[in-house]
Amino acid sequence: MMKRLVHSALAAAVALTACGEKPQTGAGIRSDAAPYAGTGSNFMQPGWKAGDKAGWEAQLKARQLYGQNEYTRTQAK
């Protein structure tokens, strides 16, 4: 009797292994590098070095003031 119980338990364990939940190993959102790390491509704007955060910010600010604020270009103030 005991032997039959053990056998049936083992059989059930083997049969039900396929019903188990797969481990979820998804890492969620992968980390995104900072924009001032640069792309390393030839399309990078000259005037700052990749990894230089202050240089990147200064480059963006200069570009913004030159490209979007025509008052600074016409000297009208």
Partner 1 sequence: MARMKFICDAERCIECNSCVTACKNEHEVPWGVNRRRVVTLNDGVPGEKSISVACMHCSDAPCMAVCPVNCFYRTEEGVVLHDKDVCIGCGYCSYACPFGAPQFPSQGTFGVRGKMDKCTFCAGGPEEHGSQAEFEKYGRNRLAEGKLPACAEMCSTKALLAGDGDVVADIFRNRVVQRGKGAEVWGWGTAYGSQQAGQPAGGKS
Q: Which residues bind partner 1 (CB under 8 A)?
A: 26, 28-41, 43-45, 47-48, 56-57, 59-61, 63-65, 67-71, 76
Q: Which is nearer to partner 1, 5 or 71 (CB)?
A: 71
Residue 20 beta carbon to partner 1: minimum distance, rounded to whole angstroms: 23
Q: Which is nearer to partner 1, 8 or 39 (CB)?
A: 39
The string of DSSP letters for 19-67 reads: GSPPP-----SPP---GGG---STTSPTTS-TT-HHHHHHHHHHHHHHH
